[in-house]
Amino acid sequence: MDALVNKRIKQVLKGDQNAFSDIVSLYQHKLYQICYRMLGNKHEAEDIAQEAFVRAYINLHSFDQKRKFSTWLYRIATNLCIDRIRKKKPDYYLDAEIAGTEGLDMYSQLSSNDQLPDDVVEQMELQDRIQYEISRLPDKYRSVIVLKYIEELSLQEISEILDMPLGTVKTRIHRGREALRKQLNNL
Amino acid sequence: MSTCPQHIVDYMHEYLDGDITREHEQQLKKHLQDCSTCTQHMHELSNTVAFVKSAAHITAPPHFEREVMKRLPKRKNSVGIQNWFRRHPIIVAAAVFLLFMSASLVGSYQNNEFSVTKQPNLLVEGQTVIVPEGEVVKGDIVVRNGDLIIEGKVEGNVTVINGQYMASSAVVTGEIEEIDEMFEWLWYELKTIGNNFVGLFQ
């Protein structure tokens, strides 16, 4: 996959804009998922994920092709998400609730054909709850928890994406787990 | 829990991260066998991890890729121009050649120095060249940025660039040309180059 990505990157750098659509198509779901879990709102997630691809396109010349493209791309996206979260901090909890109902709509659209209504409801409630709990985490814990448990990335990769030492990543994951544990016990 | 050492909780996290050392793991297991509070804590942490991991896989909306492509800044058709260049290499080469040629010719045109073809028995007074009465000049005369007065005879072509040609009773066997405009002059230069070029093969 890396060879294909690097080939497409070279084409884009030569001026072939259409080659970029393959890159978008490869990473769109992962990138959108990170943004959605970080922001808890599908409209914002879409906007930020698109913005991340646009920034990647504009700054593609500065990408070092010896490194992993996904790491670089995720870094752009997480930075944009963190900026967005910091700008709208006051309505943090309100947003988490909105996110819950939106997740519900989307989830029911996705799986309406092959699951029983009761199971769907049960599953939806769990999914809402997960997103709600993630949204309640302070953003410095949220980013590491999302990258570790939703994207299932290695600690080393997370440290590169967030541009922080491995030790800091570990500490944040530990604290994030403890924070989540306390949130779940309270309810 | 308050009686348990803090490092036990650290070991739990090391265990969950999958980078616990063998000694730490043994200490942790040993401690968990004796301490129900820590066992409960470990259990809650494992449940927390399982809870987050059960999050459904989220996919981008179907129009996502198209929307991204729409938002990309336009690249001033650089691909189109490049392709055109690639398809017409001879035109490009000719254009580049003409560009350099005219640049060097125009460059030499703007050089306003007076000059005249060296011929014996030509009289030069300031910027005026005189062919004295009774003299015969054998060969061509080119005067740049100066006037030419012919009172005698010239056996050849006469060219005056940026100046005036004055002749009263002159006898010129060749062509007489007066050049004032840039383009005329360019044309003259090209013709000269052409003639020289043709001359090479004759």
Give the tens place of pLDDT for each residue, B114-130.
Answer: 778 777 778 888 778 88
Q: Which domain does B162 fall in, by range?
A: 115-179
Decide: A80 and A51 in contact? Cβ < 8 Å. Answer: yes
A107 touches chain B (CB under 8 A): yes
A19 touches chain B (CB under 8 A): no
pLDDT computed for residue A123 by the predictor: 60
Residues A157-160: contacts with CB under 8 Å, at least 24 apart = A157/A68, A157/A71, A160/A71, A160/A75
A185 touches chain B (CB under 8 A): yes
Residues in chain B within 8 Å Cβ distance of A55: none
CB–CB contacts below 8 A, A to B:
112
Q: What is the pLDDT of residues B16-39, one digit of tens each?
A: 998 899 999 999 999 999 999 999
**Best to test chain A binding among B15, B52, B53 (most A CBs inside 10 Å):** B52
Residue A93 has pLDDT above 50, yes or no: no
> Which of B49, B55, B60 shows the shortest C-beta gap to A177?
B49
State both tokens at B102: 């005219």
Decide: B130 and B123 in contact? Cβ < 8 Å. Answer: yes
Contacts of A93 (CB under 8 A, 6+ apart): A136
Phi/psi at A79 (nearest 5 deg)? -60, -45
Domains in chain B: how many in total?
Answer: 2
Residue B56 per-residue DSSP state: P
CA distance A53 to chain B (A): 7
Is residue B187 in some structural domain?
no
Is residue B102 in some structural domain?
no
Residue B135 has pLDDT above 90, yes or no: no
Helix axes B36-53, B22-34, angle to 10 degrees: 120
Question: How large is the average pLDDT for residues A31-54?
Answer: 94
A34 touches chain B (CB under 8 A): no
B54/A133 touch (CB, cutoff 8 Å), yes or no: no
pLDDT computed for residue B170 by the predictor: 65
B114 vs A79, more confident = A79
Class of domain A1-87: mainly alpha
pLDDT computed for residue A22 by the predictor: 93
pLDDT computed for residue A88 by the predictor: 73
Residue B72 has pLDDT above 50, yes or no: yes
Question: How large is the average pLDDT for residues A41-52?
Answer: 94
Please report which confidence band the pLDDT of residue B195 belongs to, taking 50, 70 and 90 as the band edges: confident
Residues in chain A within 8 Å Cβ distance of B69: 17, 20-21, 24
CA distance B157 to chain A (A): 56
Question: How large is the average pLDDT for residues A108-116?
Answer: 37
Side-chain-side CA neighbours of A174 within 13 Å: the count stands at 18
Residue B181 has pLDDT above 50, yes or no: yes
List A residues 140-179 in contact with B (Cβ-Cβ < 8 A).
145, 149-150, 155, 170, 173-174, 177-178
- ipTM of the predicted structure? 0.75
Residue among A100, A125, A122 nearest A37 (CA):
A100
Please report which confidence band the pLDDT of residue A175 belongs to, taking 50, 70 and 90 as the band edges: very high
Of A89-103, B104-118, B148-162, the range with the lowest mean pLDDT is A89-103
What is the signed CA dihedral for A50, A55, A60, A61, rounded to 10 degrees? 160
A124 vs A102, more confident = A124
B68/A145 touch (CB, cutoff 8 Å), yes or no: no
Q: What is the pLDDT of residues B57-71, one digit of tens each?
A: 889 999 999 999 999
pLDDT, averaged across chain A: 83
pLDDT computed for residue B21 by the predictor: 92
Residue A21 has pLDDT above 50, yes or no: yes
> Which of B56, B60, B64 shows the shortest C-beta gap to A127?
B56
Please report which confidence band the pLDDT of residue A178 belongs to, taking 50, 70 and 90 as the band edges: very high
Is residue B190 in some structural domain?
no
Helix axes B6-17, B36-53, angle to 10 degrees: 30
Question: In chain A, what are the domain boundaries?
Answer: 1-87
Percent of chain B at pLDDT above 90? 28
pLDDT computed for residue A113 by the predictor: 35
pLDDT computed for residue B78 by the predictor: 57
> Which of B10, B58, B75 shows the shortest C-beta gap to A33?
B58
Rounded Cα gap, residues A103 and A43, in angstroms: 11
Residues in chain A within 8 Å Cβ distance of B64: 24, 28, 32, 46, 49-50
pLDDT, averaged across chain B: 82
* Residues paired with residue B171 on neighbouring β-strands, in sequence order: B153
For residue A125, the chain B residue with the least C-alpha distance is B55
Decide: A28 and B65 in contact? Cβ < 8 Å. Answer: yes
State both tokens at A162: 């967030």
Residue A91 per-residue DSSP state: G
Decide: A126 and B54 in contact? Cβ < 8 Å. Answer: yes
Domain boundary among B53, B70, B89: B53
Residue among A1, A27, A22, A24 nearest A11 (CA):
A22
pLDDT computed for residue A145 by the predictor: 96
Residues in chain B within 8 Å Cβ distance of A145: 52
Please report which confidence band the pLDDT of residue A96 belongs to, taking 50, 70 and 90 as the band edges: very low
Q: What is the pLDDT of residues A130-158, one digit of tens each?
A: 888 898 899 889 999 999 999 999 999 99
Decide: B16 and A177 in contact? Cβ < 8 Å. Answer: yes
> Which of B52, B60, B71 shows the shortest C-beta gap to A32?
B60
Residue B5 has pLDDT above 90, yes or no: no
